[in-house]
Amino acid sequence: MGICLIRFLMEAESEFRPATTPFENVGMLRVTHHEGGVRQFGRPTPEFIRSVVGKARDRDMLCRHLITHPDEVAKFVKDRRFAELADLVDYINDGIDAAYAMTDPYHFRQLCKGIAEFYLRGWGSLNAAKLRQAQERDDANASKDKS
């Protein structure tokens, strides 16, 4: 029995070689192809994660900037930047996380004050779905003009 176990271990050891790169000998988790930023076994690629997190952070920073500088909302309307305005409306409708009040009370107060001013200036009537439709219409018209 002991000899069989040793023989099994020796055969198993000969099948595995030391990895030359990190995660090379991971067996089933080996990546064979990428489709849409997701690896074969459902794990997102690092590039996909960076692109999503980067976009979310950019959106968050832009919305916070527009909330604290409400004069620039009119510039976005004038420049027909409807996608960013739709993100802003969604951000405001989602509300600010109450936990943010505990971690950064100054910025929480600034955002609350900015949202109140956003509504007082009349921007509360903006509709995110209609803004996205307007952006799609502008994109379609721009592509027709290029043709």
Residues 58-85 have pLDDT tens digits of 888 889 999 999 889 999 999 999 999 9
Let me know if residue 97 belongs to a domain.
Answer: yes
Given a cut of 70, whether residue 55 has pLDDT beyond it is yes
Give the closest residue to 86 by CA, choosing from 137, 142, 135.
135
Residue 63 phi, psi (nearest 5): -65, -40
Let me know if residue 87 belongs to a domain.
Answer: yes
Given a cut of 90, whether residue 18 has pLDDT beyond it is no
d(CA 19, CA 136): 49
Let me know if residue 121 belongs to a domain.
Answer: yes
Let me know if residue 38 belongs to a domain.
Answer: no
Higher pLDDT, 61 or 17: 61
Let me know if residue 50 belongs to a domain.
Answer: no
Let me know if residue 129 belongs to a domain.
Answer: yes
Given a cut of 70, whether residue 6 has pLDDT beyond it is no
- CA triple 130-109-64, angle to 5 deg: 40
Q: Which domain holds residue 61?
A: 57-133
In the prediction, which pLDDT does 136 show?
92
In the prediction, which pLDDT does 46 show?
62
**Total structural domains within the chain:** 1
d(CA 138, CA 126): 17
Let me know if residue 82 belongs to a domain.
Answer: yes
d(CA 127, CA 2): 75
Let me know if residue 48 belongs to a domain.
Answer: no
DSSP annotation of 45: P
